[in-house]
Amino acid sequence: MTDDPADPTLDPASETERRNFYGRIHGKTLRPRQKQLLADLLPRLSPGAVSVFDNPDRMPVDLTALFPGRPVWLEVGFGGGEHMVHLAQANPDVAIVGCEPFLNAVAMALAKIEDGGLIDRFRIHPWDARELFEVMPAPVFARAYLLYPDPWPKSRHHRRRFVTPEHLVPLHGAMQPGAVLHVATDIPDYVRQTLDEVPRAGFTRLAGDIHTPWDGWHSTRYEKKALREGRRPHYMRFRRD
């Protein structure tokens, strides 16, 4: 890894001809262990050559071959990784794929994966999830999670949210029929957009109280922050038709 701003792999603007990407990819200076994890462990957990930078011809990546006999679950924007690590610990027969472009968060998650002895259960894609969806030859994911995504609160930025056709249509194509998408947010307008856009992309909302977590829910640091600041969480589930 490099902190050189001229490195195209760290510059979302270098992909503007292919698609728009928004958000940070690097924050505070990485600690020595974090740098080591990104240099040594992250390449081992890559799902394959999925980035446009190392797979310009968009060759297929078969995730099922990486985890034979295991259902594969997805978390988009996993933050520090506490939720997906909990999923892996609570569901020992499941494999987890995480997508997260923010390198500091990737490093935090890698430490949790290594400390938990879960390396053989994970693949990590440290970039835009759509990069992965585009090279999957068939629907793979039996479950997907979108938890406390960036709310992009200004109206002019709502098109940057994940719950837009630009993201949801590829996600639908990557999920198996009958798979369930889980969405949690503390932003009422994000709830509105989710309830509008996700069904349009080919999902059916499942019944349930929007303020009651689904079975197996593991609170995240973002939810704890929302509760401290007086915002009420919302939980939604949708079946991929």
Is 41 a domain residue? yes
User: What is the pTM assigned to this prediction?
Assistant: 0.87
Whether 42 maps to a domain, the answer reads yes
Residue 150, domain extent: 8-240
Residue 232 lies in a domain: yes
**Is 3 a domain residue?**
no
Handedness of CA 90, 150, 136, 170 (dihedral sign): positive
pLDDT at 45 over 90: yes
Residue bearing tokens 């490195």: 7
Question: In whole angstroms, what is the distance from residue 51 CA to residue 41 CA?
Answer: 17
Residue 225 CA from chain centroid, whole number: 20
- What's the domain count of the chain? 1
Say how many C-beta atoms besides its own lie within 10 A of residue 57's C-beta: 7
Give the model confidence (pLDDT) of 117-158 as tens digits: 999 999 999 988 998 998 888 999 999 999 999 998 898 989
Integer CA distances (angstroms), 5 to 2, 14, 23, 51, 58, in order: 8, 11, 15, 18, 25
Q: Is 120 a catalytic residue?
A: no
Task: Indicate if the pLDDT at residue 17 is higher than 90.
Answer: no
Inside any domain, residue 2: no
Question: CATH number of the domain that 95 lies in?
Answer: 3.40.50.150
Convert the pLDDT of each residue in 170-184 to its tens digit.
999 999 999 999 999
- The answer to whether position 82 is within a domain reads yes
Give the Cα separation of 127 and 10 in Å (integer). 10
The reply to whether 91 falls in a domain is yes
| Domain annotation covers residue 1 | no
Give 46's pLDDT tier (boundaries 50, 70, 90): confident
Residue 16 has, within 13 A of its CA and on its CB side, a CA count of 4
Catalytic residue among 62, 128, 150, 215: 150
Burial-class residue 97 by CB neighbours within 10 Å (0-12, 13-18, 19+).
Answer: buried
